[in-house]
Structure 1
Amino acid sequence: MEYDLIVVGAGHAGVEAILIAEKFNLKVLLITGDFDKIASMPCNPSIGGPAKGIVVREIDALGGVMGRVADATALQVKMLNSSRGPAVQSLRIQSDKIEYSKMMKKIIFDNKKINKVEGIVEKLIIKNNECQGVQLNNKIKYFSKKVILTLGTYMSSLTFQGSSKKSEGPDGAKTSSGISEQFKDIGLEMFRLKTGTPPRILKSSINFKKAKEELGDDKKLSFSYMTEKFIPINQQVSCWLIHSNNKTHKVVSDNLNKSGIYNKTFEGIGPRYCPSFEDKIVRFSEMPRHQIFLEPESKHLETIYLQGFSTSMPKDIQEKMVRSLPGLEDAQFSKYAYAIEYEAINPLQMNHDLSSKKIKNLYTAGQINGTSGYEEAACQGLIAGINACLSIKKQPPLILGRDEAYIGVLIDDLVLKGTDEPYRLLTSRAEYRLLLRNDNAEDRLKKYAIKYKLISKEEIEKFNNQIILEKQLFDFLKKTKVNLNSEFFEKINKTHNFKLKEGTTLFNLLKRPDFNSDLINDYFDFYKNIDFRIKNHVLIEIKFEGYINKEKENALKNKKLEKNIIPKNLDYNLVDSMASEAKEKLNKIQPKTVGMASRISGINPSDIQMLLFYLRKINKLR
């Protein structure tokens, strides 16, 4: 059986890869171990968060599905960092994990153009370092022009609870070692990573009176611009906040030798930015308490997820830890916490289109590339799917710049800097984060979705109308004046700390950081009737115009280095006066441009200068 493209795995990366690939009118096949675990949430029951929420907006702008499904299955919607600047504001949705997976499965199965097989891939069919398909553990073979691996944490995975160790994936799923062993034989560099998940507690056993209620937002917020049905505040569920205490910390400290991290059971490296609870106690010993959020998992479940309380302690110690927390003194466990260790590929062995440097026609996406999180996985699946299809059609790949998308930042970081721990996307990783905001994902990326025909005519029409409305709103604000004798003028002087002494335009008023823009709704019907999302976007563009333009200038300057192409397989040992470490890294990674070379960890400006001198010397510099 032959296909254009095979996607292995149906987690958050796999579903985006197969659904975007189908839009290219190719013959595609999805292979996954368990149809009932399509897009499952084995860890936190949420989508979005700092930086991650913007990634989901970008996925939606490019034609992906994560945002729409998250919107449709939301339990709570909240804009994080709303009191801070727009560069760090990001949407987070508390998801119904059952409904989310169920809806994704329905989308996959309703699409008759997608061929589906339930089975475990034992190995890839590779000849002369060229991937030609896959072989299942029942020896059935499927051939294809391209293969995308989205194996998540299922490669040679082990789960841990104290001294107990099992060969399994998340939630007891089957694991496979065939592909990781095959990669090692080929010479791919692999490494082991670790992550974990906290306990799930029965809601009925928790005294919520001892916790602080965390509500959602009473606004029309969504990941997808196509979403038109919003969950009202009175239908949103609450999350809850508690803190650990001295008793909790003592239980952990007294039993550190029973944790897989500290009794050296683990080989893998855990995530720095989402450590296990025992790791927090050791690394931040000066902290008297730590935040723990109580989050509902589904309207179909009576379980509460303890966000911030992952652990690999044995079950009896977990019980003591949890029951030391306020409101959880009588906690009943639905599921105990566990840690999981798995194989990943050193991402320095990938190209920017997520293809393998070593194995032709092979693409990888998600946690197999050393990342953490559903959102990081989904965006890689989307890009791998697009680029595998473009390659089949003999078209250039889609490579997003660091000034275009957080997706571009993530992939660029992986390919040029690598990682030695589960990579998590943070706003601090983006040097142009004021350009990569939650509100402007469509403006940045919709052009690619239109170019590659990844969205419907309805979506294109809505986007074009959005652009028209944005322009009309800008024009309205610039032309509409606030007169000295108007009621609006008097209202401003009464309700604000500043006093207007002369007439001005609404545009100039909005430039003031101390002006309450909501006041315009009361006096101007045109402004009041504009969609909240469009108003928010235009307001940010006006208030931060100077800063935004400055970042655009900086991005343009740095792009000049991207035009300086480096010859393929350049021997950097020939570059005079370059540091030995720089030569070693550049020879290994083989960046395609001087701009890429400048972003590799350990490469100094002086090394780049020597490289530029050398390229001029051999007449290879534009």
Structure 2
Amino acid sequence: MDKLGKYDVIVIGAGHAGIEAAHAAAVLGARTAVFTLTLDFIGNMPCNPSIGGTAKGHLVREIDALGGLMGVAADATFLQSRMLNRGKGPAVHSLRVQTDRKRYHMWMKHALELTPNLDVHQGEVVALDIAEGRVQGVITSLGGYYECKAVVIATGTTLGGRIFVGEASYAGGPDGQHAATALTQCLVDNGFTLRRFKTGTPARVHRRSIDFSKLERQPGDPDESLQPFSFLTRTPMHNKVDCYITYTNPETHKVILENLHRSPLYGGMIQGVGPRYCPSIEDKVVRFKDKERHPIFVEPCGEDTEEMYLQGLSSSLPEVVQNAMYRTISGFEHLEIMRPAYAIEYDCVDPTTLYPTLESKVVAGVYGAGQFNGTSGYEEAAAQGLLAGLNAARAALGKSQLVLARHTSYLGTLVDDLVTKGVMDPYRMMTSRSEYRLSLRQDNADERLTPIGREYGLVDDARWAVFTQDQAIKQAEMHRLETTRVPLADLRKAAEEAGVDRSRMGETGGTAAELLRRPTVTYELIARVIGWGQDVTPAMALRLETEIRYAGYIAREQRAIREVQRHEQVLIPTDFVYEDIPTMTLESREKLTKIRPRTLAQAGRIPGVSPSDLAQLSLAVLRFQKEKEQHP
């Protein structure tokens, strides 16, 4: 076996998780290599050509705040931008952009090539070299050996991948890649608990075959209101394309039901568990029999291609059935399929076998990220990749690792859910998964996480300078709003000129901040009277408005967070024996022994651990610590 290199960190896979892992590790100064099956699919979007969405947009902002790449890449390559959930409260506002798929790949590939301390290799890793419970290196299909101190597995859906289209099935990865099968056996042989999950993607079709006159146009937000993902982006943004909506109908559903026996999902060929919140069109028709139609979003794959993506029509039916099904839909009567829809099964790990650092409990130095950890989605993958790469590098360099508590971020919530509760199907981030949504808004990700990124070495001087400047602008404007009085007559005159309802503005004037707490009073309206704050962007104005208007609710949430932090600070010793607590239920002891929670708070979030069990555990940990102090 040829020894070809020596690294601190090796990343397996260069999808969204692998990109962030490799970049983070290299930025921290670790000698890093990333291996990918093909350089032509770095940052590939095998499913939806978009970044962000409900809760996912929060993750992209958090990645950016910590010093990651996804937000910057999305801003550089977007085609259309929309802020979702504007009709709801600010806690669930989420940015989503339609992205040029090919340009996103090229941007990310070049970013990795330009990253110091990072080598990019095309090659398949077929085995890990493990000795005495710790990873020592990796072996490639060409017989090369690369020594390392840590490995991040970010294999996406290629690990044990198998494609299904009707009765046809074959080993493979998305978009014609070959499957990575050898590594699965190595992991099983070394004690990793693997499972089979499944996902799917719709067909890509030719633009010329769509009758857009029968579809509903879905434009992006007005250019003047567009917000970037990255806190670094300062250039003006412009939408370049429209998206469209059409719907299935009873005839579509009839074709699906008549051919259900030809679906590998219903015929028993597919054994993997699919994503609950992104079902195939077959699943939708079967599970929601009362619905006469389902929406289909028609989205471009790029500026320089005629391929269109049909979001909402994921399927594993035979190609001939797909043709018949699509052509029952208004606007699709003459549809030309360029790439048929397919389902894919793949191998992933049980995430409860990972620590909150994303390091494996089975083999030291091995970290997981993305779909390998049982999640779905580019954004979930990228967020985990950043954390796994950061921790792998810091461990390799002999430094402390980062654990993000769930009250700090959606990333912290995501990881805590994975390692504490586990998953029964591919995990998707949603705002409802967080108890602290008002504090974890997408607009304040920089305040929450950029100082952490700076402390742990990911945030460079340029980003830190932008952050500190933004904070100074915000604080200065907040002070101005809290100290500048606005006469009610002036405010009502401004409202009349702007065509704003004056009926709920109160009967007296007050400071600008006091008035912003009243219904129908916005920062923009206040600015008509006192002027726009110096260097305040529209995004900053909305952020100030939110923090002033919801100050009482945010303060209440912060009190709840401080209460939880007390339990987060109670560390459970790594050698604690749960079987020695007879007053706890057997179920709790078994689950605590399996998960081995890091803190008392994490223990309380394990399904099956009751408040009574937690109280008993708290007392037992206290006794354990006192005994160790007395008898070290």
TM superposition score category, shorter chain reference: over 0.9
> Are 2:134 and 1:118 equivalent residues in the alignment?
no
Q: Give the whole-Å Cα distance in 2 for the aligned partners of 1:176 and 1:500.
A: 66
Q: CA deviation at 1:482?
A: 1.4
Q: Give the whole-Å Cα distance in 2 for the aligned partners of 1:3 and 1:448.
A: 26
* Equivalent residue, structure 2, for 1:582: 588
SS in 2 for 1:222: coil
- Which residue identity does 2:558 align to in structure 1? K
Q: Give the whole-Å Cα distance in 2 for the aligned partners of 1:102 and 1:367.
A: 22
Q: Give the whole-Å Cα distance in 1 for the aligned partners of 2:131 and 2:621.
A: 36
* Equivalent residue, structure 2, for 1:549: 555
Give the gaps of 5 or more residues in structure 2: none
* Equivalent residue, structure 2, for 1:419: 423
Q: Give the whole-Å Cα distance in 1 for the aligned partners of 2:322 and 2:28.
A: 49
* Equivalent residue, structure 2, for 1:615: 621
Q: Give the whole-Å Cα distance in 2 for the aligned partners of 1:190 and 1:495.
A: 59
Q: CA deviation at 1:500?
A: 4.0
Q: CA deviation at 1:619?
A: 5.0
> Are 2:470 and 1:466 equivalent residues in the alignment?
yes
Q: Is the 8 A contact 2:492 2:502 kept in 1?
A: no
> Are 2:232 and 1:239 equivalent residues in the alignment?
no
Q: CA deviation at 1:126?
A: 0.8
* Equivalent residue, structure 2, for 1:25: 29
Q: CA deviation at 1:438?
A: 1.1
> Are 2:491 and 1:488 equivalent residues in the alignment?
yes
Q: Give the whole-Å Cα distance in 2 for the aligned partners of 1:9 and 1:247.
A: 42
The answer to which of 385-394 and 150-159 deviates more is: 385-394
Q: CA deviation at 1:612?
A: 2.2
- Which residue identity does 2:183 align to in structure 1? I
Alignment of 1:292-303 (within 5 A): 292-303=296-307
Q: 1:137 to 1:251 in 2, by over 3 A?
A: same
Alignment of 1:339-378 (within 5 A): 339-378=343-382
* Equivalent residue, structure 2, for 1:61: 65
SS in 2 for 1:226: coil
Q: Give the whole-Å Cα distance in 2 for the aligned partners of 1:393 and 1:6.
A: 14
> Are 2:281 and 1:277 equivalent residues in the alignment?
yes
SS in 1 for 2:137: strand
Q: Give the whole-Å Cα distance in 2 for the aligned partners of 1:368 and 1:98.
A: 24
1:43 counterpart (43, 47, 68): 47
Q: Give the whole-Å Cα distance in 2 for the aligned partners of 1:246 and 1:220.
A: 38
Q: CA deviation at 1:495?
A: 4.1
> Are 2:134 and 1:130 equivalent residues in the alignment?
yes
Q: Is the 8 A contact 1:34 1:118 kept in 2?
A: yes
* Equivalent residue, structure 2, for 1:606: 612
Q: Is the 8 A contact 1:7 1:147 kept in 2?
A: yes
Q: Is the 8 A contact 1:353 1:387 kept in 2?
A: yes
SS in 2 for 1:432: coil
Q: Is the 8 A contact 1:200 1:334 kept in 2?
A: yes
Q: Give the whole-Å Cα distance in 2 for the aligned partners of 1:113 and 1:319.
A: 49
Q: CA deviation at 1:453?
A: 3.3
> Are 2:472 and 1:436 equivalent residues in the alignment?
no
Q: CA deviation at 1:181?
A: 1.0
Alignment of 1:198-347 (within 5 A): 198-218=202-222, 219-232=225-238, 235-347=239-351
Alignment of 1:91-102 (within 5 A): 91-102=95-106
SS in 2 for 1:527: coil
Q: CA deviation at 1:264?
A: 0.5
SS in 2 for 1:102: helix
Q: CA deviation at 1:617?
A: 4.5
Note the alpha carbon deviations across 1:184-219, whole angstroms, 9 max, x for none.
122221100000000111111101111111111121
SS in 1 for 2:413: helix
> Are 2:181 and 1:177 equivalent residues in the alignment?
yes
- Which residue identity does 1:136 align to in structure 2? T
Q: 1:504 to 1:214 in 2, by over 3 A?
A: same
SS in 1 for 2:92: coil
Q: Is the 8 A contact 1:8 1:14 kept in 2?
A: yes
- Which residue identity does 2:490 align to in structure 1? E
SS in 1 for 2:521: coil
Note the alpha carbon deviations across 1:147-170, whole angstroms, 9 max, x for none.
111111111110000110010011
* Equivalent residue, structure 1, for 2:411: 407
Q: Give the whole-Å Cα distance in 2 for the aligned partners of 1:612 and 1:376.
A: 33
Q: 1:514 to 1:73 in 2, by over 3 A?
A: same
1:71 counterpart (59, 71, 75): 75
> Are 2:599 and 1:593 equivalent residues in the alignment?
yes
The answer to which of 38-47 and 180-189 deviates more is: 180-189
* Equivalent residue, structure 2, for 1:567: 573
Q: Is the 8 A contact 1:513 1:543 kept in 2?
A: no
Q: 1:528 to 1:283 in 2, by over 3 A?
A: farther
Q: Give the whole-Å Cα distance in 1 for the aligned partners of 2:289 and 2:554.
A: 40
Q: Give the whole-Å Cα distance in 1 for the aligned partners of 2:91 and 2:368.
A: 30
Q: Give the whole-Å Cα distance in 1 for the aligned partners of 2:398 and 2:262.
A: 55
> Are 2:106 and 1:86 equivalent residues in the alignment?
no
Note the alpha carbon deviations across 1:262-291, whole angstroms, 9 max, x for none.
100011000000011101111111111111
Corresponding pairs, count: 619
- Which residue identity does 1:487 align to in structure 2? D
- Which residue identity does 1:541 align to in structure 2? E
Note the alpha carbon deviations across 1:318-352, whole angstroms, 9 max, x for none.
01111111100110111100000000000001011
Name the TM-score, length of structure 1 as normaliser. 0.97
Q: CA deviation at 1:179?
A: 1.7
Q: CA deviation at 1:382?
A: 0.4
> Are 2:527 and 1:524 equivalent residues in the alignment?
no
SS in 2 for 1:261: helix
Q: Is the 8 A contact 2:486 2:529 kept in 1?
A: no
- Which residue identity does 1:2 align to in structure 2? K
Query: Aligned-residue CA RMSD in angstroms?
Result: 1.6
Q: Give the whole-Å Cα distance in 2 for the aligned partners of 1:596 and 1:99.
A: 41
Q: Is the 8 A contact 2:349 2:372 kept in 1?
A: yes
Q: Give the whole-Å Cα distance in 1 for the aligned partners of 2:588 and 2:418.
A: 18
Q: Is the 8 A contact 2:196 2:345 kept in 1?
A: yes
Q: Give the whole-Å Cα distance in 2 for the aligned partners of 1:458 and 1:128.
A: 42
Q: CA deviation at 1:529?
A: 5.2
* Equivalent residue, structure 2, for 1:558: 564
Q: CA deviation at 1:564?
A: 2.1
SS in 1 for 2:91: coil
Q: Is the 8 A contact 1:220 1:532 kept in 2?
A: no
Q: Give the whole-Å Cα distance in 2 for the aligned partners of 1:449 and 1:574.
A: 40
2:194 counterpart (178, 190, 201): 190
Q: Give the whole-Å Cα distance in 2 for the aligned partners of 1:9 and 1:577.
A: 46
Q: CA deviation at 1:146?
A: 1.0
- Which residue identity does 1:583 align to in structure 2? R
Q: 1:243 to 1:620 in 2, by over 3 A?
A: farther
* Equivalent residue, structure 2, for 1:511: 517
Q: Give the whole-Å Cα distance in 1 for the aligned partners of 2:545 and 2:505.
A: 21
Q: 1:534 to 1:517 in 2, by over 3 A?
A: closer
Q: Is the 8 A contact 1:520 1:528 kept in 2?
A: no
Note the alpha carbon deviations across 1:34-56, whole angstroms, 9 max, x for none.
00110000110000000000100
Give the gaps of 5 or more residues in structure 1: none
Q: Is the 8 A contact 1:198 1:338 kept in 2?
A: yes
Q: Is the 8 A contact 1:273 1:424 kept in 2?
A: yes
Q: CA deviation at 1:307?
A: 0.4
Name the TM-score, length of structure 2 as normaliser. 0.95
> Are 2:400 and 1:390 equivalent residues in the alignment?
no
Q: Give the whole-Å Cα distance in 2 for the aligned partners of 1:619 and 1:28.
A: 39
Q: Give the whole-Å Cα distance in 2 for the aligned partners of 1:487 and 1:606.
A: 59
Q: CA deviation at 1:112?
A: 5.1
